[in-house]
């Protein structure tokens, strides 16, 4: 398999205006860190190359070489920021890796099949979490985990322990009992007891009585003024 290269150069300018000019020129601000080195490097990297990596099957777990004028360092994308409106890549954090050192990564879990609990029992399939954390060598990082959910009946779950891994290469770090997906009953709003309905129906009566009492008081005041007017006549 051919090595993936991300071209990079030292980033000497800082600030929003400088970052905007970089993006216009097809570059994105980046920080390269980790890998046993104390110092982090401020870089500018090729936007198209990084975007292609994030869109690939292995996504942010893709191993590539960050190529500068003086060196090539293996790395993965650790974090990235995207403009929520335009979708433009704003910034990336790159993590140096050593191919002989085990590392922690999160791997997506994809399911396939039609749950029997949905087809036969009218349940609803819900995905609770979509990735699990594992520890392995960089070369052994899986692209994804696939889980068959066709046998799920109502009330049944898929847990992290159901994800098949090679124990000699990969260690599962997610709690084995953690629920990844399940089939649950359709939620129906329970009917309220007759007493509760009656209590709610009676609630507006109090403001109405107050209003009525106020109206009667006003009518009473008007009624008191009438004899005074007749007396004056």
Question: What's residue 3's pLDDT?
Answer: 83
**Does the residue 189 lie in any domain?**
no
pLDDT digits (tens, 9 = 90+) for 144-182: 999 999 999 999 999 999 999 999 999 999 999 999 999
26 and 80 in one domain? Answer: yes
In which domain, by residue range, is 204 found? 194-232
Dist CA 74 CA 65 (whole Å): 4
The sign of the CA dihedral 146, 141, 108, 181 is positive
* Tens digits of residue pLDDT in 180-191: 999 999 876 555
Read off the pLDDT of residues 104-151 as tens digits, 9 standing for 90 and up: 999 999 999 999 999 999 999 999 999 999 999 999 999 999 999 999
Clarify whether residues 146 and 128 are in a common domain: yes
DSSP-assigned beta bridge partners for residue 2: none
Count of domains for the chain: 3
DSSP state of 8: E
Question: Taking a C-beta distance cutoff of 8 angstroms, is the pair 93, 60 a contact?
Answer: no
Note whether 119 and 143 are same-domain residues: yes
This prediction's pTM: 0.69
Sequence-ordered list of residues with C-beta below 8 angstroms from that of 127, at least 6 positions apart, any chain: 111, 180, 181
The DSSP bridge partners found for residue 136 are: 103
Specify whether 85 is located in the same domain as 131: no
CATH number of domain containing 24:
2.40.240.10
Digit-coded pLDDT (tens) for 36-76: 776 888 999 999 999 999 999 889 999 999 998 888 899 99
Lowest mean pLDDT among 192-196, 203-207, 225-229: 225-229
The mean per-residue pLDDT over the stretch 10-35 comes to 88
Whether 151 and 180 map to the same domain: the answer is yes
Rounded CA separation 202/26 (Å): 67
Could you please report the per-residue DSSP string of 101-116? Answer: S-EEEEEEEEEES--H
Q: Which of 70, 98, 126 is the last residue of a domain?
A: 98
Q: Which of 52, 71, 98 is where one domain is finished?
A: 98
pLDDT at 219: 47
| Confidence band of 223 (pLDDT split at 50, 70, 90) | very low
User: Do 90 and 110 reside in the same domain of the chain?
Assistant: no
211 within some domain: yes
The whole-angstrom separation of Cα 193 and Cα 202 is 14
pLDDT at 35: 77
124: CATH: 2.170.120.20
Q: Are residues 81 and 25 in the same domain?
A: yes
Expressed in angstroms, the distance from the first to the final Cα of the chain is 113
DSSP bridge partners of 89: 82
């Amino acid at each position: 398999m051919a090595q993936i290269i991300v071209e990079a150069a030292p980033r000497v300018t800082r600030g929003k205006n400088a970052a905007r000019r970089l993006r216009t020129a097809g570059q994105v601000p980046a920080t390269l860190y980790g890998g046993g080195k104390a110092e982090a490097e401020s870089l500018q990297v090729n936007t198209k190359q990084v975007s292609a990596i994030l869109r690939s099957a292995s996504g942010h777990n893709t191993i590539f070489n960050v190529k500068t004028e003086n060196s090539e360092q293996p790395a993965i994308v650790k974090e990235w920021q995207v403009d929520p409106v335009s979708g433009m890549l704003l910034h990336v954090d790159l993590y140096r890796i050593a191919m002989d050192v085990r590392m922690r990564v999160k791997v997506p879990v994809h399911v396939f099949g039609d749950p029997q609990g949905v087809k036969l029992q009218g349940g609803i399939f819900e995905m609770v979490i979509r990735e699990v954390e594992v520890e392995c060598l960089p070369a052994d990082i899986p692209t994804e985990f696939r889980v068959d959910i066709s046998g799920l009946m109502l009330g049944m779950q898929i847990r992290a322990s159901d994800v098949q891994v090679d124990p000699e290469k990969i260690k599962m770090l997610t709690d084995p009992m953690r629920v990844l997906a399940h089939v649950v009953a359709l939620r129906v709003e329970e009917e309220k007891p007759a007493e509760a309905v009656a209590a709610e129906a009676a609630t507006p009566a109090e403001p109405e009585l107050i209003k009525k009492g106020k109206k009667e008081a006003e009518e009473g005041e008007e009624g008191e003024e009438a004899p005074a007017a007749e007396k004056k006549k």
